[in-house]
């Protein structure tokens, strides 16, 4: 009889503890408002380094050919984008752009040097534009950060994909978006090695400054 009385207590002691309630599932993302990139301005600043740096140039690389699509959703952290840049659109050391930048970029670069720099940039040792002519940027996540956002993006270049985290600001007005981003990236972040000559006595510094501006217009459903 004592055993029979104790049995329920033993069963209760062996019973699994009640589970904590599961956290609520995140709210589903709302429908997307799609925007098409209408115009862009990409500026990349690469700097000279090494014992013979005085013989080289700081380089200004730009393009206005970045295109793509941005989808805004509620919550905004569910938004995303995909951008494409034809590498052949890159312009190296445009005289007017260098004059506007000033500082170490103010002096013009001779045309033969500009042409050689562009060939090296697009060649197999650097961007390898012949093998993959379009650089792609696709968002993976978007998190609030101060007055803007911090975007984790997948960059497709040279047949590989790299993850970067970059700051982004987005302004909405009248069916248009203005998007801006400024950040520093290393060659290693992109899977590249800095170009160098004379056993590294003259080379491109590892840090590269990137500035990006996009203007996008809301797509109208047909």
How many other CB atoms are there within 10 angstroms of residue 208's CB atom? Answer: 21
Q: Collect contacts of 175-179 with beta carbons under 8 A, ≥24 apart.
A: 175/217, 175/218, 176/35, 176/215, 176/216, 176/217, 176/218, 177/35, 177/70, 177/72, 177/214, 177/215, 177/216, 177/217, 177/218, 178/213, 178/214, 178/215, 179/70, 179/212, 179/213, 179/214, 179/215, 179/216
Among 45-49, 68-72, 138-142, 150-154, where is mean pLDDT lowest? 45-49
What pTM was computed for the model? Answer: 0.82
Dihedral (CA of 171, 174, 176, 178) sign: negative
Q: Report pLDDT for 22.
A: 55
Q: pLDDT per residue over 42-62, tens digit each?
A: 999 999 887 766 777 899 999
DSSP bridge partners of 49: 203
Answer yes or no: are the C-beta atoms of 53 and 46 closer than 8 Å: no
Answer yes or no: are the C-beta atoms of 60 and 104 closer than 8 Å: no
Answer yes or no: are the C-beta atoms of 161 and 168 closer than 8 Å: no
DSSP code string of 62-97:
EES--EEEEEE-SSGGG-EEEEEEEGGG-EES-HHH
Residue 106 burial class via C-beta count within 10 angstroms: exposed 0-12, middle 13-18, buried 19 and up: exposed
Answer yes or no: are the C-beta atoms of 84 and 101 closer than 8 Å: no
How many other CB atoms are there within 10 angstroms of residue 157's CB atom? Answer: 20
Alpha-carbon span 100 to 35, nearest angstrom = 30
Alpha-carbon span 155 to 87, nearest angstrom = 13
DSSP bridge partners of 43: 62, 211
Q: pLDDT per residue over 14-51, tens digit each?
A: 444 555 555 554 555 678 899 999 999 999 999 988 77
User: Does 160 have pLDDT greater than 90?
Assistant: yes
């Amino acid at each position: 009889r004592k055993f029979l009385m104790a049995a329920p207590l033993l069963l209760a002691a062996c019973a699994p503890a009640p589970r904590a309630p599961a956290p609520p599932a995140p709210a589903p993302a709302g429908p997307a408002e799609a925007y098409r990139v209408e115009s862009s301005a990409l500026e990349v600043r690469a700097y000279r380094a090494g014992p013979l740096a005085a013989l080289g140039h700081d380089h200004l690389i730009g393009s206005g050919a970045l295109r793509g699509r941005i989808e805004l959703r509620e919550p905004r952290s569910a938004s995303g984008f995909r951008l494409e840049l034809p590498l052949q659109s890159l312009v190296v050391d445009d005289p007017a752009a260098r004059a506007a930048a000033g500082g170490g970029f103010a002096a013009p670069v001779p045309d033969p040097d500009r042409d050689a720099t562009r060939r090296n940039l697009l060649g197999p040792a650097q961007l390898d534009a012949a093998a993959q002519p379009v650089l792609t940027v696709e968002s993976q996540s978007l998190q609030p950060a101060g007055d803007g956002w911090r975007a984790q993006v997948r960059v497709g270049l040279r047949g590989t994909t790299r993850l970067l985290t970059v700051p982004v600001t987005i302004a909405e007005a009248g069916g248009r978006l203005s998007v801006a981003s400024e950040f520093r990236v290393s060659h290693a972040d992109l899977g590249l090695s800095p170009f160098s000559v004379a056993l590294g006595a003259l080379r491109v510094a590892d840090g590269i400054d990137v500035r990006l501006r996009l203007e996008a217009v809301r797509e109208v459903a047909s």
